[in-house]
Structure 1
Amino acid sequence: MKDFKKIEIFCGTGGVGKTTISASRAFSLAADNKKVLLITIDPAKRLRQLLNLKDQSEIVEFKNEKISFDVLLLDCKSSFEKILGSKVDNKILENLTSSRGGLNEILAVLEIQTQINRNIYDAIVVDTAPGKNFLDFLNSSKKINRFFNKTFAEAFNYITNQNKPGRFFNRIISTGIEKFLSYLESVTGQGFINDFLEAISILYGNREKFIDGLSVEKTLNDPAHSRWYLVTSAEHMKEVETKQIFDSIQAQMDTERYLIINKSWYNNLTSWQPKTARMKEFKKTIIKQEEIKTSISKKSNIETLTFPDLVTFDPIEQLRALQEYWKQTEKEL
Structure 2
Amino acid sequence: MADVQRLIDASNVIVCCGSGGVGKTTTAAVLGLEAAAHGRKVVVVTIDPARRLADALGLKDGLAAEPQRIDFSSAKASGGELWAMMLDTEATFDSLVRRHAGDRAQVDRILANPLYRNMAGAMSGTQEYMAAETLHALHGDDRFDLVVVDTPPSRNALDFLEAPGVLARFLDHRAFKLLMLPTKSGLRVLGSAAQPILKAIGRVVGSDVLAEALAFFQAFAGMETGFRDRADEVVALIRAAETSFVVVATPRHDTISEAVWFTQQLVEQGVRAGAVIINRTQPAFGVGTAADATASARAAVGNDDLVALWTNVAELRTLRERERVLIAPIADVVGDNAIATLPLLDRDVHDLAGLQAIAGHLFDPSE
Deviation of the 1:181 alpha carbon: 1.8
1:184 has 2:197 as partner: no
Which residue identity lines up with residue 54 of structure 2 in the other structure? R
Partners of 1:34 and 1:75 lie apart in 2 by 25
Cα displacement string for residues 233-271 of structure 1 (whole angstroms, at most 9, x for unaligned residues) = 125632322211111112223356111101121424876
Quote the residue 1:157 is aligned against. Answer: 180
Which residue identity lines up with residue 8 of structure 1 in the other structure? I
**Is contact 2:282-2:316 (8 Å) kept?**
no
Partners of 1:129 and 1:284 lie apart in 2 by 33
Structure 1 gaps of 5+ residues are none
Quote the residue 1:293 is aligned against. Answer: 327
Quote the residue 2:226 is aligned against. Answer: 209
Cα displacement string for residues 31-88 of structure 1 (whole angstroms, at most 9, x for unaligned residues) = 1121111111123342133222434212211223453411120110011111112573
TM-score, normalised to structure 2, is 0.76
Kindly, what percent of the aligned residue pairs are identical?
20
1:316 has 2:352 as partner: yes
Q: Secondary structure at the match of 1:139?
A: helix
Give the 5 Å matches for 1:67-216: 67=75, 68-85=81-98, 88-98=111-121, 101-149=124-172, 151-158=174-181, 161-162=182-183, 167-168=188-189, 171=192, 174-175=195-196, 178=199, 181-185=202-206, 191-201=208-218, 205-213=222-230, 214-216=232-234
Q: Secondary structure at the match of 2:83?
A: strand
Residues matched between the structures, number: 324
Equivalent position to 1:14, from 20, 24, 31? 20
Report which of the two has the higher share of helix: 2
**Is contact 1:39-1:127 (8 Å) kept?**
yes
- Label 1:203 to 1:147 Cα distance change in 2 as closer, same or farther (>3 A): farther
Which residue identity lines up with residue 218 of structure 1 in the other structure? A
Structure 2 gaps of 5+ residues are 76-80, 99-106, 295-307
Partners of 1:40 and 1:99 lie apart in 2 by 18
Q: Secondary structure at the match of 2:364?
A: helix
1:44 has 2:50 as partner: yes
**Is contact 1:40-1:127 (8 Å) kept?**
yes
Which shifted more, 309-318 or 104-113? Answer: 309-318
- Label 1:269 to 1:200 Cα distance change in 2 as closer, same or farther (>3 A): farther
Partners of 1:253 and 1:135 lie apart in 2 by 13
Equivalent position to 1:31, from 33, 37, 40? 37
Cα displacement string for residues 103-144 of structure 1 (whole angstroms, at most 9, x for unaligned residues) = 111111111111222343121111111120011012123211
- Label 1:245 to 1:165 Cα distance change in 2 as closer, same or farther (>3 A): closer
Partners of 1:206 and 1:269 lie apart in 2 by 63
Query: Which 4+ residue blocks in structure 1 deviate beyond 4 angstroms?
Result: 163-166, 169-174, 201-205, 269-283
Partners of 1:103 and 1:234 lie apart in 2 by 33
**Is contact 1:43-1:100 (8 Å) kept?**
no
Partners of 1:198 and 1:137 lie apart in 2 by 28
Cα displacement string for residues 185-241 of structure 1 (whole angstroms, at most 9, x for unaligned residues) = 1xxxx7322233344445565323322322132232233x12111100125632322
Quote the residue 1:58 is aligned against. Answer: 66
Partners of 1:163 and 1:299 lie apart in 2 by 57
1:303 has 2:303 as partner: no
- Label 1:54 to 1:44 Cα distance change in 2 as closer, same or farther (>3 A): closer
Deviation of the 1:175 alpha carbon: 2.6
Partners of 1:18 and 1:268 lie apart in 2 by 26
